[in-house]
Structure 1
Amino acid sequence: MTEPTTETATFAAGCFWGIEDAFRKTPGVIDAVSGYIGGRLDNPTYEDVCYRDTGHAEAVEVTFDPNEVSFEQLLKQFRELHDPTQVDRQGPDVGSQYRSAIFTHSPEQQAAAEQWKQALNDSGTLPRPVATQIAPATTFYRAEEYHQRYFEKTGRSACHI
């Protein structure tokens, strides 16, 4: 048996607990990890990201097998998990750390994300333009262990839409 081919995708869609849980349950996803990306501070903590202006977003780094699930399928799921028209918030969570963002790991992901955003805007199905930031991935900092698999550990239900 050969090892699966893997790629990485990184999505920010508000609170990372629900997004991690949903991606983790997706066939073809090998792993999903909560963390921080897109900011200026090295090795940020949850408190740094929530209470200081670090520029980081709460995000989920998804490792997936592209032979089982495509990046475009993950983009579709990303759309279903949050409101991409919200600016610096999702539901009750407010602040730039809760922004909608796709951090791309290749020119192909960048092109697919841009096409996804344009298609959503052109569809006329959303009340406002898509606010999702699309940017090349920078260093991803794994969140503290108590944030990983949070719903499994606490028995809580999802916090995404």
Structure 2
Amino acid sequence: MRRAALLAPVLALAAACQQPAVAAEKVVRAPVAGVKAQETGKLSTAIFAGGCFWGVEGVFSHVKGVKSAVSGYHGGKAASARYDVVSSGMTQHAEAVKVVYDPSVIRYDQLLRILFSVVTDPTQRNRQGPDVGAHYRSAIVPLSAEQRKVAQAYLKQLGSAKLWDKPIVTKIESPRKFYPAEAYHQDFMAKNPKHGYIVRWDAPKVRALSKMYPGVYKASFTRD
């Protein structure tokens, strides 16, 4: 692939940081989950969609107990699981992140609390921050009956909490195959801390995590 084609998606996203902040995600302190996850085993996996995967991955990479956070595509077919196609908005994919975590250190319900506190605004339909399109939708993808039970209860709890002025539109989606994104998207925040988009839109989310939930925050991007 030509260099220009590789750089085009990054340059397009960089331009987004010049847009006004009127649609930025609202940082809130989401409530402690009324239904706590009861997961067994050494590791569990979760999939979250909450806007540009750079920020979603970046935040969860700073959470204690998270072993890996991989940016990718979820909801569509293998043939369209490419950034140049997904970014057209014409696929069923969402930019998503697959999180592998130790449930004895961080529970699924705690990950949901982080998601809605500092990562995604659940009242924005098919957009987050400066990014617009169905591929930027806010969605939870439970991978077990336990996760689905906890996610359903937490969305209901958030609706009753009235933390946002608008209704919650985040959906629970059925699991489909997760396709890792291109290599240059992985650990993008860690590799490009001075990138305009990261500075404007995503670094503030990590700072909010460190201040709001210092007990689960880890400063290093190094995997546990």
Same fold at TM > 0.5: yes
Q: Is the 8 A contact 2:51 2:95 kept in 1?
A: yes
Write the mapping of 1:95-134 to structure 2, written as runs, cut at 5 A: 95-134=133-172
Q: Percent identity?
A: 42
Counterparts of 1:94 and 1:52, CA distance in 2: 9
Q: For 1:30, give the aligned amino acid.
A: K
TM score, norm. by length of structure 2:
0.67
Distance 1:52 1:74 in 2: 27
Alpha-carbon shift at residue 136 of structure 1 (Å): 2.2
Aligned counterpart, 1:22: 59
Summarize deviations over 1:108-143 as a string: whole Å, max 9, x none: 111111111100101122111111110221100000
- Where 1:51 maps in the other structure, the secondary structure is coil
> Which structure shows the bigger proportion of residues in strand conformation?
1
Q: Flag the structure with larger Rg.
A: 2
For 1:54-69, what aligned pairs fall within 5 Å after superposition? 54-69=91-106
Quote the residue 1:33 is aligned against. 70
In structure 1, the residue matched to 2:11 is none
Residue from 74, 83, 91 that aligns with 1:46: 83
Structure 2 spans left out of the alignment, 5+ residues: 1-40, 206-224
Q: Is residue 7 of structure 1 aligned with residue 11 of structure 2?
A: no
Tell me the equivalent position of 2:185.
Answer: 147
Residue 45 of structure 1 aligns with an amino acid whose one-letter code is R
Distance in structure 2 (CA, Å) of the matches to 1:135 and 1:111 = 13
Whichever structure has more helix as a proportion of its residues is 2
Q: What amino acid maps onto 1:59 in structure 2?
A: A
Q: Distance in 1 between matches of 2:153 and 2:76?
A: 25
Regions of 4+ moved over 6 Å:
none
Superposed displacement of residue 40, structure 1: 3.6
**In 2, are the aligned partners of 1:120 and 1:126 still within 8 Å (CA)?**
no
**Structure 1 stretches of 5 or more lacking a match?**
none
Contact 1:110/1:136 (CA < 8 Å) preserved in 2? no
Looking at structure 2, the residues matched to 32 and 66 of structure 1 have their Cα atoms a distance apart, in angstroms, of 15
1:104–1:135 contact (8 Å) kept in structure 2? yes
Q: What amino acid maps onto 2:55 in structure 1?
A: G
8 Å Cα contact 2:123-2:166 kept in structure 1: yes
What do you get for the CA RMSD once the two structures are aligned? 1.5
Over 3 Å counting, the alpha-carbon distance change for 1:68 and 1:117 in structure 2 is same
Give the TM-score of the pair, scaled to structure 1.
0.93
Alignment-derived partner of residue 93 in structure 1: 131
**Partner-residue secondary structure (3-state), 2:46:** strand
Q: How many residues align?
A: 158
SS in 2 for 1:79: helix
